[in-house]
Amino acid sequence: MFLKNYWYCAALPEEITKNPLRRIICNLPLVFYRDTNGNPVALEDRCSHRQAPLSSGTIRDDNIQCSYHGFVFNGDGKCIYIPHQKNIPRRAHIISYPIKEKWGFVWIWNGDPKLADQNKIPSLPWTKSPKRSPVFLYYYVRANHQLVADNLLDISHADYLHSDTLGSKSGIMDGPKPDKVEFRTWTKGNEIHSFRKLTNVEVASYPKKWGKFINNVNRTNIQMWEAPNTVHVHLEFENKENKILINHDHIMTPETETTTHYFMDFTRDFGLDGTKYPTDEDIYKEQYSVITGDDLPMIEAQQSNIDLCRDAIDVPVKADKLISDVHRHLAKLYKLQDIGVPSYIAGKN
């Protein structure tokens, strides 16, 4: 049902503590905690004895103890203690998942552990650059992960849905039009890229404030999608007055077929002194309010309509080319893994 042998973003680092955290990822119930060295641990959240969730249990040093009858498991998933008996059957062991903290997120490997190469974690070097400041966000979405990704792959919605906040006015019927709209997509191996530039456009209130722009700007949006479901966005606003740069990355991890853990960083090259607008806190509040106020209600409403109208087919337009390219590529990946192509990809474009 979900692609295997990929790193999936599981949590923000501060979510994993000495207390167990239950999180379902790709339909797998998982429990996360930190061991005595502060390293994150990911185990299946299902006691081998009678299926109780280990997340309702207790962390004991590096181990976790089930709250039902007291079985204890170590960070490798080995059952190391069963009350009232010495013999521990092999079948009592549970699955532990490769886990790695990198680029401000915690990732788990869903697949063959022997193939878990940490270099395959999506690369986000700008989050560590001394000339940048990253802000990290998490959203829980009641919609399929691909619908959330499609929202990011379709940047034209910024010119309508976000015309007052993040985007531009150029999507409004009687709104000011840019001199030129350039848009192209291309594929490089397993990466799908796009370039979109609006020349001489009036942008919305946030980028105006961020760059202290008075006049129109050129807005350039360069994107890259990579499997299983990460969208990297490189965004520039520029005119003679100023140039500002943002990298924002969106990582959509399926919880189930119809719910998503949505992780995001917003990494800017302006407002870095920490006292004047925009501070990290300002950026966090803006991004949180735009995404929970504009995008997520729309995506969840789409999911509701899709659930009601199972045979509905989208009508792609020019601006949807990146979505179509990504869906076609994903269909190939599902087929390669002998997984039926899900309906939210097959036949939609």
Contact between 234 and ligand FES per CB under 6 A? no
Contact between 295 and Fe ion per CB under 5 A? yes
Reference 74, options 15, 112, 88; nearest CA is 88
Could you tell me if 59 and 20 are in contact, meaning their C-beta atoms sit under 8 angstroms apart? yes
Write the binding mask 53 to 92 for Fe ion: x where contact by CB under 5 A, - elsewhere: ----------------------------------------
Distance CA 288, CA 284 (A): 6
Residue 190: exposure state from Cβ atoms within 10 A (0-12, 13-18, ≥19): exposed
Contact between 68 and ligand FES per CB under 6 A? yes
Could you tell me if 33 and 16 are in contact, meaning their C-beta atoms sit under 8 angstroms apart? yes
Token representation of residue 321 = 């080319």
Beta bridge partners of 30: 23, 44
Q: Which of the stretches 44-52, 123-131, 145-153, 296-304 binds ligand FES when contact is defined by CB under 6 A?
A: 44-52
Q: Toward ligand FES, which CB reaches closer, 87 or 305?
A: 87
Q: Which of the stretches 42-50, 100-108, 262-270, 280-288 binds ligand FES when contact is defined by CB under 6 A?
A: 42-50
Least Å distance, CB 81 to ligand FES, is 10
Contact between 73 and ligand FES per CB under 6 A? no
Q: Which of the stretches 101-109, 182-190, 202-210, 291-299 binds Fe ion when contact is defined by CB under 5 A?
A: 291-299
Token representation of residue 173 = 């019927």
Contact between 81 and ligand FES per CB under 6 A? no
Contact between 52 and ligand FES per CB under 6 A? yes
**303 C-beta neighbours (distance < 10 Å), count:** 20
Sign of CA dihedral 156, 161, 167, 170: positive
Distance CA 242, CA 244 (A): 7
Contact between 93 and ligand FES per CB under 6 A? no
Contact between 159 and Fe ion per CB under 5 A? no
Task: Pinpoint the alpha helices (H) of the chain.
Answer: 145-153, 205-211, 280-290, 296-308, 321-336
Q: Which of the stretches 27-35, 67-75, 120-128, 173-181 binds ligand FES when contact is defined by CB under 6 A?
A: 67-75
Q: Which of 4, 49, 193, 329 is in the footprint of ligand FES by CB under 6 A?
A: 49
Chain contacts with Fe ion (rule: CB under 5 A): 295
Contacting residues toward ligand FES, per CB under 6 A: 47, 49-50, 52, 66, 68-71
